[in-house]
Amino acid sequence: MLALDGDEVHVWRVVVGSAYTRRDVLWSFLAGDERQKADDFLFDGDRERFVVSRGVLRALLGCYLRRHPGSLGFGYNAYGKPHLAGDFGIRFSTSHSHGLILLAFARDRDVGVDIERVRADLGLEEIAASWFSPREIATLHSLRNGLREEAFFACWTRREAFAKAEGKGLAMLLDTRGNPLEPTKWTSQELAPDPGYVAALAVEGNGFRLSCWQYRTGFCCDELVRRGPPSPGG
Strand 8-15 vs strand 209-214: parallel, antiparallel, or unpaired? parallel
Q: How many CB atoms lie within 10 A of CB 120?
A: 11
Q: How confident is the model at residue 232 (pLDDT cuts 50, 70, 90)?
A: very low
Domain segments of the chain: what residues? 1-108+209-229, 110-207
Query: 89 φ, ψ to 5°?
Result: 85, -10
Higher pLDDT pick, 102 / 171: 102
Q: What is the pLDDT of residues 16-31, one digit of tens each?
A: 999 999 999 999 999 9
pTM above 0.85, yes or no: yes
107: left (phi over 0), alpha (psi -120 to 50) or beta: beta
Q: What is the pLDDT of residues 163-187, one digit of tens each?
A: 899 887 666 666 666 555 666 788 9
pLDDT of residue 199 exceeding 60: yes
Q: Please give the pLDDT value at position 137.
A: 87
Higher pLDDT pick, 1 / 54: 54
Select 110-207's CATH number: 3.30.830.10, 3.90.470.20, 3.30.70.580, 3.30.1340.10.
Answer: 3.90.470.20
Average pLDDT of the segment spanning 51-67: 95
Q: Please give the pLDDT value at position 167.
A: 84
- Least confident range from 64-73, 143-152, 223-232: namely 223-232
Domains 1-108+209-229 and 110-207 share a fold: yes
Superfamily, domain 1-108+209-229 = 4'-phosphopantetheinyl transferase domain (3.90.470.20)
Tell me which residue of 2, 6, 207, 208 sits closest to 107, measured CA to CA: 6
Angle, alpha carbons 165-84-40 (nearest 5°): 90
CA–CA separation, 173 and 42 (whole Å): 28
Q: Please give the pLDDT value at position 122.
A: 76
